[in-house]
Amino acid sequence: MMGVLWSLGAFLLALGILIAVHEFGHFWVARRCGVYVERFSIGFGRPLWRKVGKDGTEYTLAMIPLGGYVKMLDERVEDVPADRRHQAFNNKNLWQRSAIVAAGPLANFLFAVVAYWVVYLIGVPAVRPVIGEVAPQSIAANAGITSGMELKTISGIKTADWESVNMAMISHIGDKEMVLTVTAPDADYEVEKRLDLRGWSFDPETERVLTTLGITPYSPKITLTISQLVEDGAAIAAGLRLNDEIIAIDGQPVTQWQEVVQAVRSHPAQAMQLDVKRDGDAVTLTLVPGSKQADNGDMIGYAGFAPKIEPWPESYRINLQYGPVEAVGKAAEKTWQLVTLTFDMVTKLVTGDVAIKNLSGPISIAKGAGMTADYGLVYFLGFLALISVNLGIVNLLPLPVLDGGHLMFFAIEAVTRRPVSERVQDIGYRVGSAILVALMAVALFNDFTRL
């Protein structure tokens, strides 16, 4: 229950910040263009808090936190006195109206830059994208990718860490080719590798992009030595102790921790014999794993212990931290990567290269907000930047109920030299609303299927 409340709180905080940023973009440019703003609202419906500023604008926090709006003086909505007509939105020239509408998405993009700037000032711990293993006969293997290589760029995008690698690779869904530059172990020159993606299939919901290409990131060795024990767990009941080294299961020697995991999972509520080395002596124990149901409905065993993992080599650890000036460029570069990736994903959603089932709604966003808030400020800011970019791009879609739809009407007006008729706009709003509601319904359905 506390986890749900935490995710909900983080979601509302994130949503409130991003809505305020978006609407402030419209508000600020409208005021600079001489438009009178009657109301600045975060949320819809019944006001929970309101205040009238010295500028005459009513600032409101409303009950339904799924959006916001800036109400401007407009003759198309209400009667405007003759002496105030110059302050009405509809009486501003085309470029001023376009700037006011475009300012919302632009504010979201600028917020992402600021968020990443703070992230890079604080610093983000990461590891270099060094390849651990390459599956035989995989797409990566066929391209000549081998263990120990470090990924430097993907189709021209610099990849300093695994997050950048994943983002760049996901953007190639539906493409025929992916171009990588890599360095071999202990080499200081880069080599170009081309991955043939014509036979590549990737489901973002169930698969990792690296795995589908045959790449496993390097990670420190997982030993067979016990480093953690869960209180009242099956491992403690069996007599296991910290620093015990598992050497055999049911008489069969083991060399990798994954063998231990598979053996425990396949013995729910069934006794199994463990041979361990303790202070140089061999000890035989009987372990009866607990039993729980997996996602697929099968019963699996669990024991309540964890292995010791060797530390990362210092040469593999990096800290993405920059000075105030350099961080601006890095933040802008990261934001641009997000913008291009999101545009690619929206385009591929339309063309069918990305399945509609991958569309996410507020529940998935809430879960993401809660998880990143758990990790700390840096990761929560990164999450805000990601959602802010997505919000900005979604609002630029050419649907009449969104900012992009208004800009589309303004573009038609610029070409025809006359405004789009109110009848056509009304039809557009109805169609756009229907499409938007349908997309929201699909996103919510996808969210519920992931619970």
Span 311-325, average pLDDT: 89
Angle, CA 269 vertex, CA 265 and CA 274 arms, to 5° = 65
Q: What is the pLDDT of residue 37?
A: 92
Interacting residues of 450 by C-beta distance below 8 A, sequence separation 6+? 205, 363, 364
Question: Which fold, 124-220+311-320?
Answer: Pdz3 Domain (2.30.42)
Whether 108 and 183 have beta carbons less than 8 Å apart is answered as: no
**Annotated catalytic residue: which of 23, 58, 205, 314?**
23
Span 408-435, average pLDDT: 83
Q: Over the stretch 32-41, which tens digit does the pLDDT of each residue have?
A: 999 999 999 9
- Strands 245-249 and 58-72: what pairing? unpaired
Q: Over the stretch 40-50, which tens digit does the pLDDT of each residue have?
A: 998 888 888 98
pTM strictly above 0.95: no
Give the whole-angstrom CA distance, residue 352 versus residue 360.
16
Residue 427 identity: I
Residue 361 has pLDDT above 50, yes or no: no
Q: What is the pLDDT of residue 5?
A: 66
Whether 270 and 189 have beta carbons less than 8 Å apart is answered as: no
Residue 176 has pLDDT above 60, yes or no: yes
Q: What is the pLDDT of residue 440?
A: 67
Span 329-341, average pLDDT: 89
Whether 222 and 212 have beta carbons less than 8 Å apart is answered as: no
Same fold, 124-220+311-320 and 222-309: yes
What value does the mean pLDDT of the chain take? 85
% of the chain residues with pLDDT over 90: 38
N residues, the chain: 451
Whether 221 and 249 have beta carbons less than 8 Å apart is answered as: no
Whether 147 and 133 have beta carbons less than 8 Å apart is answered as: yes
Active site residue 23: yes
| Residue 205 pLDDT level (bands cut at 50, 70, 90) | low
Instruction: Please provide the distance, in angstroms rounded to a whole number, between the alpha carbons at the two ends of the chain.
Output: 14
Give the whole-angstrom CA distance, residue 407 versus residue 98.
6
Q: What is the pLDDT of residue 316?
A: 87
What DSSP string runs through 268-317? TT--EEEEEEETTEEEEEEE--EEEE-TTS-EEEE--EEEEEPPPPGGGE
- Which CATH architecture is the domain 222-309 placed in? Roll (2.30)
Residue 370 has pLDDT above 80, yes or no: no
Whether 158 and 150 have beta carbons less than 8 Å apart is answered as: no
Span 405-420, average pLDDT: 89
Q: Which helix (H) or strand (E) holds 192?
A: strand 191-196
Domain ranges of the chain: 93-123+323-451, 124-220+311-320, 222-309
Span 182-210, average pLDDT: 83
**DSSP assignment, residue 419?**
P
Q: Which residue has the tokens 């990790």?
A: 375
Q: Over the stretch 154-170, which tens digit does the pLDDT of each residue have?
A: 988 888 888 888 888 88
| Residue 105 pLDDT level (bands cut at 50, 70, 90) | very high
Give the whole-angstrom CA distance, residue 32 versus residue 100.
9
Q: Which of 76-85, 144-153, 407-416 has the lowest mean pLDDT?
A: 76-85
